[in-house]
Amino acid sequence: MRALISLVLVLGVLGFCGCDNLPEWLQFGRSKQTYVPPVTEERVEGTILATVNGRIITLEEFNEYINAYNQQIQASRDIPADVKQEYMLTAYEQKKPILDSMVERELMIAEALDRGYDKNKEILNAVKALKEQLLYAKMIAASQENLSASAQEVEAYYNIYRDYFVIPEERRVSMISVASEDKANEILIQLLQGANFAALARQNSTDKSASKGGDIDFIVRKTVLTPPDKQTMFEKFEEVAFSLELNKPSTVFKGPSGYYIIKVTEIKEASQRPLSEVYAAIEQDILLKKQEEILVNLIGNLRKAGNITVYDNLLRNQ
């Protein structure tokens, strides 16, 4: 069973490898002839591991697939770490069935070519579509070669968008939330008389933070620049929290779940992230913008120079 699982997984690796990484004998679109004279070693890049009706499987290609399979096993979250080694293909007895399957695959392809399946319209259309997609991708890649972002460009970007690289002020807040305003006022009087905030939160608050003495950890103001990993609250809550003195209870205010009293227990002042810390992110953003600009210009020039006819009425009347 383990051998069967290994074989299935390897076949999966073969099936999903990117076209650019596939060996020549596996790539779509190659002109393949069956029963041709054996290829000499001098005409092959790599060490011949097997020949199938003149078609070559090299040791390097075979090892590439074995390594890809083993890497998938190592990265898999579905296989327990303590048994991964059992699924790795390392011994001859484990690798031989994989080579056999590759040989059988070549035999099937050779037979398909013999039967003329490479002239099948569906296959020709698929090859054409793949070729055109690769050509499109190649044009995009070629238009964006040798792009770079200079240190001066990165620094200028940083200075223009400094506000985006500010670590916002954070305040650690404890809260008490109750259903009625009268109850909230009673609690506030106790706090002003010196009662312990955490104890009153545990006794009275209806919020889930009651078990932690009302502590909800650090919050920041909600703005368009607020990092997504930072906690925010509703508008009135933030307004009160960021106007309070440290360790002083707020007055009672209304919110979505009733009436609130809060206290700020710790403050982290806002700070500017240094250029060195965000350099790579800025560089990447500049490159993306340059790539987009080049692509837009390229397509614009091709449109001007191209001979384009669009039968718009067909689209409108369909």
Q: How far apart are CA 50 and CA 41, in angstroms?
A: 11
User: What's the gap between Cα 304 and its chain centre?
Assistant: 36
pLDDT of 130 strictly over 60: yes
Higher pLDDT, 308 or 42: 308
| Domains within the chain, CATH numbers bracketed | 2-118 (no CATH), 169-269 (3.10.50.40)
The residues that bridge with 259 in the sheet, in sequence order, are: 178, 254
Residue 256 contacts residue 234 (beta carbons within 8 Å): yes
Mean pLDDT of the 225-239 span: 92
Token couple for 103: 């040989």
Helix axes 197-204, 181-192, angle to 10 degrees: 160
Task: For residue 44, name the pLDDT band (cuts at 50, 70, 90).
Answer: low
Instruction: Provide CB contacts within 8 A for 161, sequence distance 6+.
Output: none
- Predicted TM-score (pTM) of the model is 0.57
Ranked by mean pLDDT, which of 22-31, 117-126, 218-227 comes out on top?
Answer: 117-126
pLDDT of 25 strictly over 80: no
Residues 245-288: tens digit of each pLDDT: 999 999 999 999 999 999 999 999 999 999 999 999 999 999 99
Q: How far apart are CA 172 and CA 79, in angstroms?
A: 41
Q: How far apart are CA 91 and CA 86, in angstroms?
A: 11
DSSP characters for 32-94? --SSPPPPPGGGSSS-EEEEETTEEEEHHHHHHHHHHHHHHHHH-SSS-GGGHHHHS--SHHH
Q: How far apart are CA 227 and CA 219, in angstroms?
A: 11
Residues 91-125: tens digit of each pLDDT: 999 999 999 999 999 999 989 999 999 999 999 99
pLDDT for residue 40: 42
- The upper half-sphere exposure of residue 94, i.e. CA atoms within 13 Å in the direction of its Cβ, equals 17
